[in-house]
Structure 1
Amino acid sequence: MEGATQQLLQHSNFKHLLSLCDERGVFEHCEFDQPRREHGYCVDDVARAAIVLEREQSADPGITQAIDVLAGFMELAQQPDGRIRNRCDVDGAWQGEASTDDHWGRALWCWGSMVRLDPRSERVREAYDQFAKSVALRSTHMRSMVFAGLGAVEFLQAFPANTHARALLDDALRSIPANLVSAQAWPEERLTYANAAIAELLIAGGDFFGQREPVRRGLSMLTWLLALQTRDGHLSLIPATGWVVGDALPAFDQQPIEVAALADACASAYSVTGDGSWLDAIRLGAEWFDGANDLSVRMYDPSTGAGFDGLTSTGPNLNCGAESTLAYLSVMQQAHRERALK
């Protein structure tokens, strides 16, 4: 991808992301800003990268070439029965069993985004076929279903009558259990990771079906989650180890993926309600990366667009892996949209 890399360097915020890419995919981990090639690639990050690049809606040939490389990785990950393998080493050997875990859901989210956003009919057809191959499967894990449901929402923007995507979205909404207690507007006893995606699915999925109750519930959950993670006017995230009622906050390590999930959910909330307060919440996400956080430290490298891997009790974890970099870029995309809307 050397040619693609050179073309994308003009987009300075993609510089680090492209340094993680080769002709096969996106390297998962870094030591500081250097890819750890020995750790290989995973569908989770390749799918996230494809979504971020598709959201750019750029005609830059470097971006389209990068998307094509990522799409090729996703095609190789998919098995004939629709299950997905997650990990691949630097030599192209796939590791582990295919499944319907989180990476299956993220794969569907990726293909749904390609179907909705890619301007090239050939790429849309290929993504459509890959989505169709996996759409009939289901997962026993709620977050896997949530990610898949968000993919169905994307797909249905282009093909709203597709019965298989509608069935997946319906099942994804049903996979979210009732809230546990009235004092905690949340369906889990313990908050873990990408929490706001659960609320986002209720908001976006309920809106697609014209169902008021899921939308109301999702907005209530997102309001509660945002209040829980806001302190002194800035985001103060729950730690990577999770959180239950009674745990002290602030706590560490804080993960950029939580900011990205919040920003995406708030963007969906604004799209559905038109309430400008959700745009203010997106701004809090961008400001978290720029130092409006519990330690008042910047969480990205402005010269390369690299996101730091976490906010620890002593400062940023300066490793710049794919997940954190993509979280930063995703939040910036939502923040740019927020500024345009205001």
Structure 2
Amino acid sequence: MTMTTERAVVETMIQPAGESTVSVAFLATYVPRQCGIATFTEDLYGAVLGATGSNGHAVIAINGPGSQRFEYPKEVAFEIHRDRPDDYRRAADFLNFSDVDIVCVQHEFGIFGGDGGMHLMQLLRNLRKPTVVTLHTVLPEPEAHYRRGLMAVANWSNVLVTMTQHSRQLLIENYGIDPSRIEVIPHGAPPMPQAARKDLKKRFDLTDRHVILTFGLLGPGKGIETAIEAIAAASAKQPNITYLIVGATHPEVKRRFGEDYRLKLQRMVSELGIRDNVAFYNQYVNKAELVELLRMCDIYLVPYPNLGQSVSGTLSYALAQGCAVISTPFLHAREVLDGGRGVLVDPNNPARMSDAIVEVVRDPERIEQLRQRALQFGASTTWPEIGKRYAGLFSRIHTVFSETIGIEQAARPIVTTETGVQPVFAHMRRLTDDTGILQHAIFRMPNRFHGYCVDDNARALQVALMNQDRLDDQAMGHLTSRYLSFLHYAQREDGWFHNFMSYKREWLDDIGSEDCQGRTVWALGSAVTAMHDPLDRLLAKQLFDRAVPVLHKITSPRARAYAILGLGAYLQTCPENAEVRRLLAEHAAALAALYAQTHTDGWLWFEPVLTYANAKLPEAMLMAGSLLENGEYRSIGESALLFLTDIVLEHDHFSLIGNQGWLTPGGTKAPFDQQPIDAAALVSAYRTASLVLQDEQYIKLARKALDWFLGANDLRMRLYDFGNGGCADGLTAAGVSLNQGAESTLCCLRAISLMTDPTNPQVL
């Protein structure tokens, strides 16, 4: 099997850097798109750039709904349309093949497509880089689809960043997230400019005015109506108040309703008779303009009615600029204004808000005290400081991932069968042409140089049979017929099967290996039991019957095991066939004799070496013990399976026997290359054990073995491709193979099918 590893390919694609730095890709909306997350990401990108001194960072930009495109700056390396799932998968491919070390996702509800933002999972599931996700909103009691979306993102991330301690506690208490995976890094803000407040007021022609400011993209639900009513009451007592409402109308609001909301507010100002006290600054202001406006104002007013709001970027900006803040007590405000750094007033209460405004503007000492406390707090949240904290986090994650790969914390938390995994057949279909399924792939592309083999077409037939009812019956029926047709063409007149066929449809061998004979009989026995089409089922029976005499001549332990499984499957439909039953007993007795001859107190096995697909041997004995009602065979099967389990199960995951040196008594197993065929054999054996022995522990072990494909392995790297259903060809010392060949893909799909559809009979 050709092993092309991710790491090896990437190293050939890039030039070595002059020094070792961590390269980060930021995934989010981005300027010039008018969006708070876009502005945040631009600031964070610049801050990390300044902290690391590296130019190797990039941005993956999320475009909004519709067809609007943006003229992005040069750091944007890839664009994703919010509502196109394929764009997310392509972005994952782009990142996997790039020299990016870490991906930093800015998560906010609404910026990713799909129900609850689930399109993002198309990227995260296929990404092979460590991931940091900054959560801009953490809802205490979200709707079901939002909770599902956030939990999925959390499960596929290495570290979650919140901007407040309260959000961190919500993740721990309401979502059950491990506290060790959560970092708190505040929202950043620009450093304070040098210009004096009085000079800025003079420039804006606001000398001798008490300036109150609210900033943000304008739209309903931000409490502006309450603020205007409060200004009306306050200006009656303090006429030299000017309230600046700064910000363009939110693009989504404008797209749907035009300027109706702004006009409504302006009419309200006129009706209250405070046109001299309220000014609308109707444009998207840049950071420099915003900083000057904040520096100029006397009070920054935050009238949000939604007390559950996790974070306010504008509040962070205001504190960093030394503003005296009056705010409703939403979550972020309660946390950062604690200790006298601001004034909290009830939401939707213009009278109380008005009183607070008047009290503060009439007390210069109070204003100065609030400003100094805000400045003291804000100094630690300026973008240069926040950039250093993110850069430090990225560096720590990269170090762990690079230097201690194989330790639990080295890569993203694994996704397990408990979180839901389903078989996807796109890659299996891609590898299949009008002849059969091709053996190998170069990356995901069918590699026609290696042609076909009976082994893989037998495996493909079983996978198709297992999923006849899961997918469109006609489409899967075409596949089962194609694979069965290949086996028909592969069988010689004497019952033996060829194995290898060139792409030119020429047989490359006279007779296939014994394992090939046994594996093909297993597939045919499954077809006799499960094939929907009666004529196809009859053909499968004819091929099976013709192969029975061959089975008397095989002696390979694995071939015997495959034969037992195939004979057992056949007996599900034809239990009266005495010859098949005798043949099954013959092979079971032969394996039992091998076990008796080889096993010792410390080596409970059939051979003096453990090689590949080992679990097939105890599985066959368990099956034989059940069908023949032979307790000795069941006992041998269980003892051998537990012996194998002790060798390959390490703590919380399976560490399979590598093919770069098999395991002998007293020896050390080779750590690599680990192959999917071994993990799949374990899944199947444990499921058989659970049925034969009626012991629930084996179902738990089967799930754990399946989790090997999903990242619960020595490298903490996923082999199963959720996007196309392909499976990497192996786990090597250099990483995960990038090739998705037929054997690996089919073994993985069979294992998933067994564990996700309880109606699948074990004989398949």
> For the superposition of Structure 1 and Structure 2, which TM-score range results when normalised by the shorter chain?
over 0.9
Quote the residue 1:17 is aligned against: 428
Change in CA separation of 1:94 and 1:250 when aligned onto 2, cut-off 3 Å? closer
CA contact (8 A) 1:196 1:261 kept: yes
Cα deviation for residue 254 of structure 1 reads: 0.4
Alpha-carbon contact 2:423-2:749 (below 8 Å) kept:
no
Counterpart of 2:475 in 1: which secondary structure? Answer: helix
| Structure-1 separation of matches of 2:439 and 2:476 | 19
Corresponding residue of 1:335: 755
Q: Measure, in 1, the Cα distance between the counterparts of 2:622 and 2:513.
A: 24
Instruction: Check the 8 A contact 1:12/1:304 in 2, yes or no.
Output: no
In 2, the alpha carbon distance for the partners of 1:216 and 1:180 equals 13
Q: Structure 1-normalised TM-score?
A: 0.93
Partner of 1:5: none
Q: Distance in 2 between matches of 1:100 and 1:127?
A: 20
1:324 counterpart = 2:735: no
Distance 1:174 1:83 in 2: 23
Deviations 1:88-130 (A, max 9, x none): 1112111111256111111100110001111221111111111
Q: SS at the partner of 1:40?
A: strand
The equivalent of 2:579 in structure 1 is 164
What is the CA distance between 1:320 and its match in structure 2? Answer: 0.6
* Residue pair 2:497, 2:512 contacting (<8 A) in 1 also: yes
- Provide the C-alpha distance between the structure 1 equivalents of 2:562 and 2:759, rounded to a whole number of angstroms: 27
2:519 aligns to what? 106
Is 1:55 the counterpart of 2:55? The answer is no
The equivalent position to 2:599 in structure 1, one of 180, 188, 195, is 180
**Counterpart check, 1:43 vs 2:457:** no
Partner of 1:232: 651
Output the amino acid matched with 2:642: T
**CA contact 1:149–1:172 (8 Å) conserved in 2:** yes
Say yes or no: does 1:257 pair with 2:677: yes
Q: 1:100 to 1:298 in 2, by over 3 A?
A: closer
Give 1:74's match in structure 2, choosing from 487, 508, 529.
487
CA distance in 2, matches of 1:116, 1:66: 17
SS at match of 1:105: helix
Q: Distance in 1 between the 2:653 and 2:754 partners?
A: 17
Query: Does the aligned pair in 2 maintain the 1:136–1:164 contact within 8 Å?
Result: no
SS at match of 1:41: strand
* Cα distance change on mapping 1:209 and 1:93 into 2, 3 Å: same
Q: 1:26 aligns with which of 437, 444, 458?
A: 437
More strand by share: 2
Deviations 1:195-249 (A, max 9, x none): 1000011000111011110011101111111121111211110111321133335
1:197 maps to which of 598, 604, 616:
616
Aligned equivalents of 2:687, 2:757: Cα separation in 1: 9
2:636 aligned partner: 217
Aligned to 1:83: 496
The AA in structure 2 aligned to 1:242 is W
Please tell me the residue identity of whatever aligns with 2:488.
E
1:269 is matched with 689
Structure 1 letter corresponding to 2:428: L
Q: Spell out, residue by residue over 1:41-72, the C-alpha distance to the aligned partner (whole angstroms, 9 max, x if none).
A: 00011001101111123252111100100001
Secondary structure in 2 matching 1:29: strand
Superposed counterparts of 1:108-123, under 5 Å:
108-123=521-536
User: What is residue 569 of structure 2 aligned with on the other side?
Assistant: 154
AA aligned to 2:626 is D
> Is the CA contact 2:616–2:681 (under 8 Å) kept in the aligned structure 1?
yes
Instruction: State the partner residue of 1:133.
Output: 546
Alpha-carbon contact 1:309-1:324 (below 8 Å) kept? yes
Match of 1:307 in 2: 727
8 Å Cα contact 2:500/2:512 also seen in 1: no
Is the CA contact 2:663–2:669 (under 8 Å) kept in the aligned structure 1?
no
Larger radius of gyration: 2
State how far apart, in whole Å, the 2-side matches of 1:168 and 1:260 are: 26
Identity fraction in percent: 34
Q: CA RMSD in A?
A: 1.7
Residues in 1 aligned to 2:423 and 2:473: alpha-carbon distance in whole angstroms: 13
Whether the aligned pair in 1 keeps the contact of 2:662 and 2:669 (CA below 8 Å) is no
State the 1:12 CA deviation: 6.9
Distance in 1, matches of 2:449 and 2:705, equals 32
Other structure's SS at 2:511 match: coil
Distance 2:646 2:463 in 1: 27
Q: Is the 8 A contact 1:83 1:100 kept in 2?
A: no
Segment drifting more, 262-271 vs 141-150: 141-150
Q: Which amino acid aligns with 1:286?
A: L
The match for 1:7 is: none
Q: Which amino acid aligns with 2:463?
A: V
Larger RCO (CA within 8 A; separation ≥ 6): 1
Q: Deviations over 1:288-320 (max 9, x none)?
A: 111111111111211011110010112111111
How many angstroms apart in 1 are the aligned matches of 2:667 and 2:725? 33
TM-score relative to the length of structure 2: 0.42
Query: Which structure features the higher share of helix residues?
Result: 1
d(CA) in 1 for partners of 2:700, 2:613? 20
- Bigger drift between 163-172 and 24-33 goes to 163-172
Equivalent position amino acid for 1:106 in 2: R
- Asked if 1:294 is matched to 2:714, the reply is yes
1:153-196 CA distances to partner (integer Å, 9 max, x unpaired)?
10011111112211221122123112431211101111111110
